[in-house]
Amino acid sequence: MASLSPERLDALAEHANDVRQGIIRSLLAAGSGHSGGSLDMADVFTAMYFELLRHDPKNPDWPERDRLLLSCGHIAPVRYSAMAYAGYFPVEELLTLRQFGTRLQGHPERVSLPGLETTSGPLGEGLAQGTGMALGAKMDGADWRVYVVTSDGEHQCGLHWEAMMTAAKFSLDNLTCIVDRNFIQIDGSTEDVMPLEPLADKYRAFNWEVFECDGNDIGAFIETVERAKAVKGKPQVIIAHTLMGKGVSYMEGDYLWHGKPPKPEEAETALRELHAARELIGANRG
């Protein structure tokens, strides 16, 4: 794969900044929701919706689309924001997050919003769902791919490991699992609550092809996905190392922001920082 041009990388960085601003605004309007993981996955979801996925926002049920599943449904704000900026629905609708009757439920609800592949909530189930889809694609001779975004904390759920075994058994090379490896869950560090390391070696032991990258480096993540897509005969996992709350200084690395929204003055500070970061991208381009 040819490297992305500096101009394209700048454009993607601006998209990611917009996605982060959308997250902050939606969480503020809702008065509840998950900030930290949503912000740290903005670069990954920007890469998916603006560069990697085969999809059509105007035809979300297009049969030949790639399937993108969000297993850790509590970070729905990042998916909604990326989808809005990609053209699935008006950006203004982000302000209805978690409100009664909204299409933007606190966890993604497939029947509410076109473009969602599954209803997610209980942690650990996404890879099992994605494995079934990938197997179905193989049986049908279809060439679309399945991507499943997972949190590191949900690797503490047994169903995830059953899906890992199943995907390897059926050599599902059309399946890529993306792990948000921020080392944080609601009660603190994953390595204190229930250690996961050596995570990469565990995937290798289950006969998966393993990649690791900086999940907050859009260019590096895109290059890693392209390498994963070239693998034959094995499912792939991308362990994307991220920083909880990325882009908002007072949230970065703080597990207390896993499951709470910003207050008005906190949101104002966050948006001011993000505005400044976006202006810097434009200045560097100029």
**Over the stretch 42-57, which tens digit does the pLDDT of each residue have?**
999 999 999 999 999 9
pLDDT in tens, 55-95: 999 999 999 999 999 999 999 999 999 999 999 999 999 99
Average pLDDT over residues 119-143: 96
- Cβ count within 10 A of residue 71: 29
All structural domains of the chain, each given as residue ranges with its CATH number in brackets, are 6-285 (3.40.50.970)
Q: Would you say the pTM of this structure is higher than 0.85?
A: yes
Instruction: Check whether 103 has a pLDDT greater than 80.
Output: yes
CA-closest candidate to residue 248, choices 21, 5, 10 = 21
- pLDDT of 2 strictly over 80: no
Q: Amino acid identity of 154?
A: E
Distance between CA atoms of residues 286 and 282, nearest Å: 6
